[in-house]
Each structure stands twice: as structure tokens, then as C-alpha cells.
């Protein structure tokens, strides 16, 4: 009976790239019982990981890394060649940052494919986990064929990851679906085996289709957000309530309630970059995906609109003290990449306001990105709001919902709340004497 299980756990896995996707993938596969080697070219990152210092904050990840590192299921190295030679399955989870023209920089993938070719000592399954443009799998295959020195077999596969930062461990272990893009039965079997203990529908397809599934999923979610934000603008003009509109729309299962939260728009290292990459690749293939251009434009405009609302109320922003609560692009992460807060802070600075910033996790990252800017950081929300003319909520951290607003009102110079995430109780705040500005409420 145990035979299948024993064989299954014998798969040894290398995950290249210790970023969000890579580290979560590595730690979760180790948790599922496989021996996993996580590789990164950043020596400091790898040394820190060996000391159990993680490169970013992600709920639940530390516990998995610690447990599996200590029980020998998880190791960290910078030696990619060895990590390729020792295993059968190689997940590529390196970054694919945007080039100035919007295309994805795939040079790290080429390097890995080259090293796989040079270290092809036995069958290898090379799996794309990072978000990559459609047809990247073909390029990886061509690269390995071009540089390999023997005829040892290999497969390339696409297995896009749909995890969300802040919920990454949960999303990996409880996926809605697992997408497997393969060209051979052997590759399909390995990937099915690897995920066999997770309960989720598996969609098996060709590699190009799997790559498009990832592009289309992220772009569709971004479209939902821009759609609801556009409707929120109309709600403001018509004096209607976007939260109720979204609630009622979401009850229709054809629409669904997720990703209908109006606010200052989406950020992070996935949606903005992936949308750009999908636009680029569509054009390259011969289709102008104009809908996505509009999604992007609405998203950009939303941040300006938020600051304009504050400006309309305060009239002059110069020298006004603006408390900004929440800096990360969403709660439960310290990730500041493409965070809407960065643009909003910049708009306030252009108006010569005085921003005082607070975030429960992202302060260190924010300090790096805002170095040299005229901003101050507060150690807690109450210190941030002291003598302020406005407090802006930009990330819906749970702790902000439980603040003592009576105390905040006493501390502020002018009781103005601008809620960029429609996360607070407007009626309650108004009853305390605050002026409340939401988006479409």
C-alpha cells in the first residue's frame, strides 16, 4: 500500500529563487514531505535563511521554514549547479521584473535553462513557477536543447502559482485549482504526484495555455478592481453607495463577490507588472488589448482622485500635516513594491504637505524607498495623527479597524478621515464628529 507513497516522497526538488513564490513553494513542498533545496544567488539572503532569518514577512511561513529546516527537509544554497544535478524536479521561481518597454526581463530564466543544459546528468523536469509571458516554455526548451552536451531526457512544464501575498502559505496548501501545462505523460505524472495530497481540481493542458491562464487570471482580477473603482466614481457623482452596489452585484454567482472592493486601486509586484507584460505580449503577437490599457489608466487615476478629494475638502494642502496609516500594498505583508501609498505620498509632497507615516510591518521597506523624501515616521497610529489635519487610511490592516477613534479625534487638529479602502464605519465616525471621505460612499 505504502509503495506509491514511498516513491512519491523520493522526488527531490530544487526551487530556484527565494522570493515570495520560491520560498513559499519550497517550504510548502518540504511540509508535504519532499526534500527541497532552495537556491538563490544572493549569498546574504541564503546565509540569513540558514540562520532562519526570512527576507520578507509572510504569515505562517517562518514556522514552516523553521520546522522543515530543522528536520532536514529544507536546505538553502547558492550552488545552483549542484542543486540541479542532485534532483529530478526544478521549479523556477526567479523574478521576472519589467523592462522599460513593459516586457518581462527573462534573463534569469535563460541562465537557469543554460545551467540545466550544462548539468543534465539525469532526467530533469524544469517547471516554470514564476509568472512568465506566453511562449517562455518554448524558449526554455530551445535553450536546453541548444546547450546540452548529451541526450539525457528532460521536460519543460508550466505550473503557474496563484498564491496571494499575506495568505501565501494557505493558498499554496489549499489551492482553488492546480494548473499543469505539460508536453509529456512523464511530466504530467510527476506533477500530479507532487500535488497528490492537496485537494484541488487539476487542469492539465499544454504549456502555452497554462502560461495564458496565469496572464488572464491576474488581468481579469485587475479588471474587476478597475471596473468597481469606475463605478465608485459614478457613485460619488450620483450620491450612491459603492459598497452596497458591490454587495448586491457579488451575490450573483456569475459575478462573484471577490475583488469588488473599491478604493485607491491595486498595487504590488504582480498586477501592475503582469498587466504590462500581457499588454506587451498581446501586441507582439498581433492583438492590441486596449481593455487592459483602460484598466491600467483607471487604476492610476484612482490615486490622484483620492488626493483630490482631500484637497477639495482642505482647500490648501501646503503645510498641512497628513497622517498616512498603512503603507504596504495590502495588509499582512511588508511588501512596498508598486504600493499605491508611494504615489499618494508623492502627490502630497508635491503639494508641500507634511506626511507622517505609520505601518505595522512595512516601515523598514518604506524607509528605503522614501529615503531623502520629506516624510516622518511615527511609532504608532496615535503618534502619527497628533496635530494632523487629515488621516488617510491606505491599507486595510486589521488593527486600524480597532483604533480608539475618540482618542484620535482629540489628538487631531482637524477631524478629517480619508478612507482609501472603505474599511471604516462611516456612520460611527460621523457620529463622533469626523468628516469622513470614502471612495464612492
Under the rule (CB under 6 A), what is the footprint of ligand UGA?
131, 161-165, 218, 221, 225, 259-261, 263, 265-268, 270-271, 274, 329-330
Q: Where are the beta strands (DSSP E) in 129-259?
A: 154-158, 178-181, 202-205
Whether 341 and 303 have beta carbons less than 8 Å apart is answered as no
CB 361 within 8 A of CB 57: yes
Smallest distance, Å, CB 378 to ligand UGA?
Answer: 22
Nearer to ligand UGA, 294 or 351 (CB): 294
Cα–Cα dist 96/108, whole Å: 8
The strands making up 124-128's β-sheet, listed across from edge to edge, are: 74-77, 35-39, 12-16, 89-92, 124-128, 154-158, 178-181, 202-205
Q: How far apart are CA 213 and CA 268, in angstroms?
A: 20
Helix (H) or strand (E) holding 410: helix 405-411
Q: Strand runs (DSSP E) across 40-159, as ranges?
A: 74-77, 89-92, 124-128, 154-158
Least separation, in Å, of the C-beta of 292 and ligand UGA? Answer: 15
Radius of gyration of the chain (CA): 24
Give the residue with the Cβ less far from ligand UGA, 119 or 218: 218
At closest approach, how far in Å is the CB of 165 from ligand UGA?
4
Residues belonging to the active site: 270
Q: Of 157 and 264, which CB lies nearer to ligand UGA in the complex structure?
A: 264
In whole angstroms, how far apart are CA 213 and each of 134, 190, 437? 9, 21, 38
Cβ 393 vs Cβ 419: under 8 Å: yes
Residue 258 C-beta: closest distance to ligand UGA, Å: 7
Can you read off the three cell numbers belonging to residue 341?
Answer: 501609498
Nearer to ligand UGA, 299 or 353 (CB): 299
**Pick 137 or 263: Cβ nearer ligand UGA:** 263
> Could you tell me which residues are beta bridge partners of residue 37?
14, 75
- Nearest-approach distance from CB 411 to ligand UGA, in angstroms: 27
Smallest separation, CB 337 to ligand UGA (Å) = 9
Pick 136 or 143: Cβ nearer ligand UGA: 136
Going through 312-428 in order, the beta strands assigned E by DSSP cover 321-325, 354-358, 376-377, 390-393, 416-419
Nearer residue to ligand UGA within complex by CB, 124 or 261: 261
Beta carbon of residue 189, minimum distance to ligand UGA (angstroms, whole number): 25
Contacts of 205 (CB under 8 A, 6+ apart): 179, 180, 181, 182, 213
The closest of 385, 388, 268 to 329, measured between CA atoms, is 268
Nearer to ligand UGA among residue 360 and residue 415 (C-beta): 360
Q: Helix 107-118 crosses helix 136-147 at what angle (to 10 degrees)?
A: 40
**Minimum distance between the CB of residue 134 and ligand UGA, rounded to whole angstroms?**
15
**Long-range interactions of 106-109: CB distance < 8 A, separation 24+:** 106/132, 106/133, 106/136, 106/139, 108/17, 109/136, 109/139, 109/140
SS3 90: strand
Amino acid at each position: 500500500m505504502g509503495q506509491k507513497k514511498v516513491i512519491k516522497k523520493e522526488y527531490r526538488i530544487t526551487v530556484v529563487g527565494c522570493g515570495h513564490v520560491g520560498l513559499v513553494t519550497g517550504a510548502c513542498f518540504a511540509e508535504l514531505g519532499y526534500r527541497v533545496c532552495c537556491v538563490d544567488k544572493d549569498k546574504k539572503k541564503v546565509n540569513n535563511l540558514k540562520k532562519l532569518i526570512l527576507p520578507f514577512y509572510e504569515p505562517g511561513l517562518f514556522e514552516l521554514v523553521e520546522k522543515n529546516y530543522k528536520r532536514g527537509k529544507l536546505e538553502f544554497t547558492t550552488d545552483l549547479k549542484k542543486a540541479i544535478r542532485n534532483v529530478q524536479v526544478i521549479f523556477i521561481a526567479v523574478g521576472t521584473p519589467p523592462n522599460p518597454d513593459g516586457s518581462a526581463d527573462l534573463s534569469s530564466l535563460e541562465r537557469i535553462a543554460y545551467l540545466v543544459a550544462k548539468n543534465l546528468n539525469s532526467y530533469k523536469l524544469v517547471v516554470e513557477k514564476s509568472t512568465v509571458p506566453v511562449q517562455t516554455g518554448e524558449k526554455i526548451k530551445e535553450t536546453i536543447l541548444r546547450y546540452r552536451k548529451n541526450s539525457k531526457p528532460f521536460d519543460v512544464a508550466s505550473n503557474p502559482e496563484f498564491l496571494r501575498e499575506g495568505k501565501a502559505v494557505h493558498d499554496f496548501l489549499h489551492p482553488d485549482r492546480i494548473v499543469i501545462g505539460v508536453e509529456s505523460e512523464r511530466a504530467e505524472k510527476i506533477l500530479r504526484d507532487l500535488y497528490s495530497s492537496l485537494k484541488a481540481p487539476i487542469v492539465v493542458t499544454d504549456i502555452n495555455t497554462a502560461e495564458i491562464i496565469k496572464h488572464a487570471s491576474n488581468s481579469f482580477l485587475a479588471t474587476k478592481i478597475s471596473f468597481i473603482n469606475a463605478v465608485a466614481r459614478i457613485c460619488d457623482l450620483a450620491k450612491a453607495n459603492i459598497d452596497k452596489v458591490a454587495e448586491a452585484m457579488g451575490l450573483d454567482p456569475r459575478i462573484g463577490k471577490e475583488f469588488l472592493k473599491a478604493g485607491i486601486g491595486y498595487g504590488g509586484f504582480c498586477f501592475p507588472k503582469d498587466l504590462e507584460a500581457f499588454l506587451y505580449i498581446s501586441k507582439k503577437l498581433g492583438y492590441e488589448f486596449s481593455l487592459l490599457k483602460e484598466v491600467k489608466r483607471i487604476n492610476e487615476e484612482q490615486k490622484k482622485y483620492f488626493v483630490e478629494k482631500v484637497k477639495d475638502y482642505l482647500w490648501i494642502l501646503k503645510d498641512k500635516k497628513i497622517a498616512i496609516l498603512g503603507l504596504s500594498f495590502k495588509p499582512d505583508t511588508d511588501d512596498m513594491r508598486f504600493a499605491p501609498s508611494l504615489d499618494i505620498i508623492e502627490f502630497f509632497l508635491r503639494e508641500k504637505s507634511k506626511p507622517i507615516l505609520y505601518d505595522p510591518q512595512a516601515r523598514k521597506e518604506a524607509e528605503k524607498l522614501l529615503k531623502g523624501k520629506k516624510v516622518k515616521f511615527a511609532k504608532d497610529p496615535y503618534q502619527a495623527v497628533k496635530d494632523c489635519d487629515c488621516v488617510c487610511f491606505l491599507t486595510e490592516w486589521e488593527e486600524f479597524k480597532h483604533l480608539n477613534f475618540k482618542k484620535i479625534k482629540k489628538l487631531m487638529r482637524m477631524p478629517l478621515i480619508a478612507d482609501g479602502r472603505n474599511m471604516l464605519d462611516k456612520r460611527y465616525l460621523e457620529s463622533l464628529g469626523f468628516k469622513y471621505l470614502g471612495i464612492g460612499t
